[in-house]
Amino acid sequence: MELGIVGLGRMGGNMLKKLVETGHTVVGFDLNAQNIKDCVTVGGKGADSIEDLIDKLKRPRNIWVMLPHGTPTTETIETIADLAAKDDLIIDGGNSHYLDTIKLGDKCLASGVRFADCGVSGGIWGLEVGYNLMVGGTEEDFKRMEPIYKSLAPANGYKYLGKHGAGHFVKMIHNALEYVMLQGIGEAFECLERSEFKLDLKDIASLWNHGSVVRCWLLDLLVDSFTKDKDVLKKTAPFIDDSGTGRWTTEFAVQNSIPVPAMTTSLYERFASRIDERISAKIIAVLRNEFGGHPLKKE
């Protein structure tokens, strides 16, 4: 099958490579010239621009956009839609907000261009083990793209979920669940590290992954990390970024009166990790001193 991919970063570039390896013809474009060279090196066809990519694809075209959410994705899809012909299909594979996806999909469909959204999970490991794909759009377009989905995903690793927006909505919730799982693992291992026992965190991560009810791939990755560098924690700053999906899930939950304390707390913990000096803690300490005479600890 023939596919164009716009955005050849860590995810898009590996997806192109995986598709080429499974027999598909892929044309790639990226603003970074080196990424285009890498695309050609692994067997893809490079394009000099979005216009060039469109010209190199046979109609009806299938164009996968794999870019950061927000302006980069929106402007790119709008550009493609303006250049595309009737029944060309645009797939947004990034982490777009599902409400933005619905609006963008409506604009594409109004102009005669087909649209699908695909939430992609798997990270840098997707090339090796496959990507989990959460697909929104029409069933017709899902079936049209199924050879691509099948090549990218492991067995049972892709699913049609409903009208456009559904794929990105499910990916948003998936990422919020990921926040919770990461937070839980982090807190558990902090308790282990701060105990009176001289515990080997790598050994415990490995132990728990053999028959326990908390066994998971994340613990495998933790073991791998400790194996590569036993001092990795000493070298890592306590700063955790967020992609936006956790915030969107919290907003959705608030708007719909859904209690999600674990998801909300895990998001706030990420915010807290980026603050070197907690003014709130100082205010509380000062007030405790004022009303109760509790001693202040000087810096």
pLDDT at 58 over 90: yes
Q: Is the pLDDT of residue 267 over 80?
A: yes
Question: Do residues 25 and 1 lie in contact, with contact meaning Cβ atoms separated by under 8 Å?
Answer: yes
Q: What confidence tens digit (pLDDT) does each residue in 126-153 have?
A: 999 999 999 999 999 999 999 999 999 9
What is the CATH T-level fold of the domain 171-279, as seen in this structure? Answer: N-(1-d-carboxylethyl)-l-norvaline Dehydrogenase; domain 2 (1.10.1040)
Question: Is there a catalytic annotation at residue 2?
Answer: no
What local confidence, expressed as pLDDT, does residue 239 receive?
92
Question: What one-letter code names the amino acid at 59?
Answer: R
pLDDT reported for residue 93: 97
Please state the rounded mean pLDDT for residues 23-38: 97
For residue 210, pLDDT over 90 is answered with: yes
Q: What is the pLDDT of residue 299?
A: 75
Catalytic site residue 107? no
Helix intervals (H) in the chain = 10-21, 33-41, 50-55, 71-83, 98-110, 126-129, 139-152, 166-193, 201-208, 217-228, 232-235, 245-255, 261-273, 279-292
Mean residue pLDDT across the chain:
96
Reported as a single tens digit per residue, the pLDDT across 68-102 is 999 999 999 999 999 999 999 999 999 999 999 99
Cβ-contact 160, 84 below 8 angstroms: no
For β-strands 62-65 and 45-46, DSSP reports them as unpaired
Q: Pick the catalytic residue from 78, 178, 202, 269.
A: 178
Provide the pLDDT for residue 190. 96
Q: What residue spans define the domains of the chain?
A: 2-163, 171-279
Global confidence as pTM: 0.94
pLDDT in the model for residue 298: 85
**2-163 falls under which CATH superfamily?**
NAD(P)-binding Rossmann-like Domain (3.40.50.720)
Active-site residue, from 17, 18, 45, 171 = 171
pLDDT digits (tens, 9 = 90+) for 225-260: 999 999 999 999 999 999 899 999 999 999 999 999
3-state DSSP assignment of residue 45? strand
**119 has pLDDT over 90:** yes
d(CA 233, CA 200): 13
Percent of the chain with pLDDT over 70: 100
Is the model's pLDDT at 67 over the cut of 90? yes
